[in-house]
Amino acid sequence: MEPFGARLARAMDERGPLCVGIDPHASLLRAWGLSDDADGVASFCATVVGALADRVAVFKPQSAFFERFGARGAAILESTIRQLREAGALVLLDVKRGDIGSTAAAYADAYLNPSRPMYVDAITASPFLGLGSLAPMFDTAAEHGGGVFVLALTSNPEGPSVQHARGIDGRSVAQTIIDEISQLNKGVEPIGSLGLVVGATIGETGHDMSALNGPILVPGLGAQGGTADDLRRIFPGNLAAVLPSSSREVLGAGPDATSLRAAASRTLDACRDALGRPGRS
């Protein structure tokens, strides 16, 4: 299969630089007038797919909100992934997996092997057992044209105590992750398939991502406090590779399909303006 980086670059050119998170948490289900159970999640996902699947470049289902309903939740997630991909969207599954050896390989096989029922285009992963522990995920992604987005600089208040800690070479943990992913992406065109996760509300941390040559998933737009202007301020040298992610800012407009489309369009327009990516004529 064509590498994920190439498919992502084309999707962002064709549909615009926006990832919509699919996070059916209890408060959002209630706001939509749905029950906090598997039936509510199924209705929620059906509405999102029907309203947005053919117009958004990337969707990011959060696995935990499906897992809490057991086998039924997993089945809804599988069906939602399949429908999104059939509509031409890329699916980035937010699972934040991170383990070692055969377990890491099994996670990779579960999500990045096209023969598996939960197959997606890319996943999120945690590198804090050491970036080398993610090698099975990187290898499986390379074999099947998939992508991996590695946590680097997150917006949660607990993050800096680990991510900003410095090693014996003076680099922060986050900068080490950035540098190693940059090496793995070196020379790949149009961009590499290994990306970073960097929160929209981290502020100016002094980390250098200029050599990344890969995508940057930027969650936190909208309800979490991040703005489209933050993208230009935090990523001045990487704007073409930034993939902003919004969940509540878009999904809060539901359940009306027209309102969902309007919210996605507004968010996308703001991201295009901030990133200097005009719409296709």
On whether the CB atoms of residues 243 and 8 are closer than 8 A, the answer is yes
pLDDT at 224: 65
DSSP structure string for the chain: ---HHHHHHHHHHHH-S-EEEE---HHHHHHTT--SSHHHHHHHHHHHHHHHTTT-SEEEEBTHHHHTTHHHHHHHHHHHHHHHHHTT-EEEEEEEE---HHHHHHHHHHHH-TTSTT--SEEEE--TT-GGGGHHHHHHHHHHT-EEEEEEE--STTTHHHHT-B-TTS-BHHHHHHHHHHHHHTT-SS--SEEEEE-TT--------TT--S-EEE--BSTTSB-HHHHHHH-TT-GGGEEEEESHHHHTT-SSHHHHHHHHHHHHHHHHHHHT-PPP-
Give me the pLDDT at residue 281, please: 45
Q: Which domains does the chain have, with CATH numbers?
A: 4-275 (3.20.20.70)
Give the other-Cβ count within 10 Å of 258's Cβ. 9
- Given 10, 25, 85, 96, which residue is catalytic? 96
pTM of the predicted structure, to 2 decimals:
0.96
pLDDT by residue for the chain (281 residues), tens only, comes to 899 999 999 999 999 999 999 999 999 999 999 999 999 999 999 999 999 999 999 999 999 999 999 999 999 999 999 999 999 999 999 999 999 999 999 999 999 999 999 999 999 999 999 999 999 999 999 999 999 999 999 988 899 999 999 999 999 999 999 999 999 999 999 999 999 999 987 777 788 999 999 999 999 876 667 777 788 888 888 889 999 999 988 999 999 999 999 999 999 998 999 898 887 64
Q: Is 186 a catalytic residue?
A: no
